[in-house]
Structure 1
Amino acid sequence: MNIEEVREYCLSIKGAEECFPFDDTTIVFKVMGKMFAYMGLERQDDGFRVNLKCDPDKAVELREKYESVIPGYHSNKKYWNTIYIDGDMPDSEIKAWIRHSVDEVIKKLPKKKQEEYAAMKNE
């Protein structure tokens, strides 16, 4: 995937919105006001990367399976992974982990907010 494809996929998630709360070069994607992904818009020496929330056990599994997955850069390494989007992880798997990140965010919301999210229509 390239950076624009990651952005488009994140925005295709039900209720997703983007913002720039940190600076002009770090895009943040949220659902229900909670962050599920963020990425720098400027290419680093080692490529573009996206940070995704992850179940702690699965986070470790991903890091062991793919060289392109490392503990979350500038985030809680227990719950966040950094994925180099032009690395060895297939596009379909990146999309699945973006979806997983959204699910992790939603399941931590209060029950009422979870129900509100479930009732939302995909726009």
Structure 2
Amino acid sequence: MTESLTVQQAERYLLAKPASTLYYPFGDDVKVFRVKQKMFATLSFGKGNEKDTGSKMAGYYCINLKCDPDEAVMLRDIFTSVIPGYHMNKAQWNTIILDGSIPRGEIERMMDNSFMLVVNKMTKKEQQSILLHL
């Protein structure tokens, strides 16, 4: 049996990233994780009223993560709990439903990739100040 990721573990993992901060621009229900003011993840609870998800998110915490467009499609094909990014650019973001079906290590890898995709778009100076701590 693979170890799944709890919402508390996900939050700690995201906040452990260098220069990671928590922000609430969409209200108390949506945690936004940023690196140097740039969003790399969101975490929220699926209420079941989300459009276009077929209620897959109902009753589960969900993480939106930035993703390479080709990998985003592959992950959706592999995992039924990975869907196009809810309320995000669906080509570059995935929503991961924390229903226990995806191994913890795989979700952590997706979080790492999201973080690095955002960092890699920053100036060299900003990148260096972050990469020193990895």
Deviation of 1:20 after TM superposition, in Å, equals 0.5
From the two aligned structures, give the one with the greater helix fraction.
Answer: 1
Q: Choose from 16, 20, 25 the match for 2:24.
A: 20
1:32-111 alignment, distance < 5 Å? 32-40=36-44, 42-44=45-47, 45-111=58-124
Q: TM-score, normalised by structure 2?
A: 0.83
- Which runs of at least 4 in structure 1 moved beyond 6 Å after TM superposition? none
1:72 alignment partner AA? G
Which amino acid is the alignment partner of residue 82 of structure 1? T
The 3-state SS of whatever aligns with 1:98 is helix
Moved more, 79-88 or 107-116: 107-116
Identity %: 39
Q: Which runs of 5+ in 1 are unaligned?
A: none
**Which letter maps to 1:17?**
T
- Counterpart CA distance in 1 for 2:61 and 2:90 is 19
State the Cα RMSD in Å: 1.4
TM-superposition CA deviations, 1:73-109 (whole Å, max 9, x none): 0000011000011242111100110000001001111
- Paired residues, number: 120
1:37 alignment partner AA: A
Deviation at 1:15, TM superposition (A): 1.5
